[in-house]
Amino acid sequence: MWNNITSCSLWRVSSSFMASRIQTLTPLFLRNYKDFCKNRQTIWTLRNSLCQVMKKTVYTKTFPVLDGSIPSVCEHVFEENLRNSEACIQRYSELLCKVSKGGGEKATLRHTQRNKKLLVRERLRMLLDDETFLELSPFAGFDLPYGDVPAAGCLTGIGKICGVWCVFMANDATVKGGAIYPISVKKQLRAQQIAVQNRLLSVYLVDSGGAFLPLQAELFPDQSHGGRVFYNEAIMSAMKIPQVAVVCGSCTAGGAYVPTMADETVIVDKIGSMFLAGPPLVKAATGEDISPEDLGGASMHSKVSGCVDHFASSEKEAYERVRNIILTLNYELPPEETLEYDDPLYSAEELLGLAPQGYSYTLHIKLILSRLIDGSRFQEFKAEYGTTLVTGFAHMEGHLVGIVANNGELTHDASLKGSHFVQLCSQRSIPILFLQNTAPHASEPTSFSQAEDHTNRLKAQASMMAAVACAAVPKITLVTGGCYRNESYAMCGRSFDPNFLFLWPNARVALVDSRHISTFPQARDDDCTGDDSELKHLKEKLEEESSAFHSSARLWDDGIILPQNSRKVIAQCLTIMKQQKYQIASLQHYPVIRL
Ligand code: COA
């Protein structure tokens, strides 16, 4: 394992960006190469010496400093928000604990003791350079109409392998034998979309009993059902986004196509198998008794069918193979740079009191900003105009980012300002961070002039939507409060394709806020007024459906993150998104086809 990391470090060193610097460093590296394998310490020392070289100063010091002190008149709002955040975080922690147990104790024992397989997180630990991976949507599959499917039966995320940021998709076979539910398909498709949008190499750890049969009608025929995963594999390969698969368990039916469609595949002896129909079906159809090993085991597929390319005698060996395959991708890596930056001047813990429990509990967005950005320094754009939207530039752990943040309703002026600023970022190739807290209801016009204002606002919001949709820069959306109505589109909601979208646990996602409904909605010519019980039922339904957990369970986002971790997560996403700049552009338009 360490040998791989060693060679990877050397490979990283040879990136063209550093070529001139390397000429002077080469003797140092050659001298030290023999010691590389001796111990980990040496590697890190060398890495650090390299980082010293790449230290980059970010000139943020001249941006004005935000005043993040919480006005005493707002303290009661802060306290209310804090209480709400603590309750949400309690729910978050309980759920995370539940999800981390996968399919439960019995299934875990079956997986590890009887089937002699590693648990999915142990697999990732062996595969990835370190444990600092960004897990995506861990709450997907929670409390769905067809039951709880922990983590949708499949872990997805982004981690580094040999220094390269990769998207991974790993079945968790403790959850119904890794069977694919509709939410598992959605999670895999989202991971593939992230790989495409950010041009990240993909690694599949396949251990799946194929489609969850009782829900087959929701899995098979439609465009974004199971087959789309295989279609995407071909398209991604043609786009020169490499895909590597490991068969580390049963791959039945649909599960067998994932490794077969990958560019390169490794199979683990004894535990890996692939077939369109397993031994029970063969027995039922032909009466023949055949073992999984003979029907579609590692030897058969590596010697006879050619469905896989590498035979590994253990899981450990398989993950080492993957690391070696990645070293053959001829990937150019971004230079390892140490960005120098200042921490925010205010404590991130205070974000819990700033995370609004409702729209009327919203404090000024600059209080949040001052706890997220480097040195709390912010170069505001159009500070005096359209003040219900705050726009400007800041740094996140040294990365320059354009910020578009709700600070009230998205008025006509605010929307025009938003359009202008988003276009500036696009022109200057600066990623955009949207801090979303949109208004839950539109004020009803009471006069002709107000109706005219509304129409003008509509037109301005449409311009902002167009600017956001077409801005050719990476976008990250963080919902800090409400994600309501059409304003959420202009603030780069899910349908506007941000590269990443995260929620705080207090966030609410809905067309309307249940707390603002006082009458049962009715059609103009409908006599039915809806009684109190119907109204109560509607409000309860809306309340439940607006929670961040409801959203995340359905994959309307990429996960819930804690307010105090936001800066780390956003900075990590900005680093990940940078990698695509260094990837070789593809001229070919055909995939790798297994022959
Ligand atoms: N659909 C629905 N449930 C499935 C499933 C599938 N495709 N594959 C496995 N399961 C369920 C099992 O019913 C069992 O449920 P339980 O814990 O409630 O009893 C659980 O997953 C674990 O399966 P089990 O067979 O006990 O585990 P195993 O480790 O011995 O074997 C498989 C795992 C995947 C090899 C085996 O379950 C299998 O062959 N499944 C059928 C695969 C298949 O024919 N798929 C066709 C899809 S089109």
Over residues 414-431, the mean pLDDT reads 98
Dist. CA 232 → ligand 1 center (Å): 26
Over residues 417-425, the mean pLDDT reads 98
Atom of ligand 1 nearest to the CA of 279: 39
Q: Render pLDDT for 499-543 as a digit per residue (tens, 0 to 9).
A: 999 999 999 999 988 777 776 666 555 555 567 788 888 888 888
Question: Measuring from atom 13 of ligand 1, which residue has the nearest CA?
Answer: 176
Over residues 57-66, the mean pLDDT reads 80
Q: What is the structure's pLDDT at 340?
A: 86
Tell whether the model's pLDDT for residue 243 goes beyond 60.
yes
Q: What is the structure's pLDDT at 37?
A: 34
Tokens standing for 453?
């204002």
Pick from 135-149, 316-330, 468-482, 505-519: least confident: 505-519
Dist. CA 115 → ligand 1 center (Å): 13
Dist. CA 219 → ligand 1 center (Å): 16
Tell whether the model's pLDDT for residue 39 goes beyond 80.
no
Average pLDDT, the chain: 88
Dist. CA 420 → ligand 1 center (Å): 54
206 lines ligand 1 (CB under 6 A): no
- Confidence band for 169, pLDDT divided at 50, 70 and 90: very high
**Closest-CA residue to 315 (of 274, 275, 266):** 266
Q: What is the structure's pLDDT at 59?
A: 60
- Confidence band for 112, pLDDT divided at 50, 70 and 90: very high
Helices 120-127 and 315-327 pack at an angle, to 10 degrees, of 40
Over residues 398-424, the mean pLDDT reads 97
Q: What is the structure's pLDDT at 26?
A: 36
Q: Is-contact 326 162, C-beta < 8 A?
A: yes
The backbone region for 207, taken as left when phi is positive above 0, alpha when psi lies in -120 to 50, beta otherwise, is: beta
Higher pLDDT: 13 or 286? It is 286
Q: Render pLDDT for 182-210 as a digit per residue (tens, 0 to 9).
A: 999 999 999 999 999 999 999 999 999 99
Atom of ligand 1 nearest to the CA of 107: 17
Higher pLDDT: 380 or 292? It is 380
Q: What is the structure's pLDDT at 47?
A: 41
Q: Are strands 399-406 and 432-436 parallel, antiparallel or unpaired?
A: parallel
Q: Render pLDDT for 355-374 as a digit per residue (tens, 0 to 9).
A: 999 999 999 999 999 999 99
Q: What is the structure's pLDDT at 527?
A: 54
Dist. CA 177 → ligand 1 center (Å): 5
Question: Measuring from atom 21 of ligand 1, which residue has the nearest CA?
Answer: 176
**Burial (0-12, 13-18, 19+ Cβ within 10 Å), 285:** exposed
Tokens standing for 257?
């196509």
Tell whether the model's pLDDT for residue 5 goes beyond 50.
no
Question: In the beta sheet, which residues pair with residue 435?
Answer: 405, 478
How many whole angstroms separate alpha carbon 544 and alpha carbon 536? 12
Report the predicted TM-score, pTM, of the whole model to 2 decimal places: 0.88
Q: How would you write 556-594 as a 3-class SS string?
A: CCCCECCHHHHHHHHHHHHHHHHHHHHCCCCCCCCCCCC
Q: What is the structure's pLDDT at 516?
A: 75
Tell whether the model's pLDDT for residue 425 goes beyond 90.
yes
Tell whether the model's pLDDT for residue 12 goes beyond 60.
no
Q: What is the structure's pLDDT at 48?
A: 41
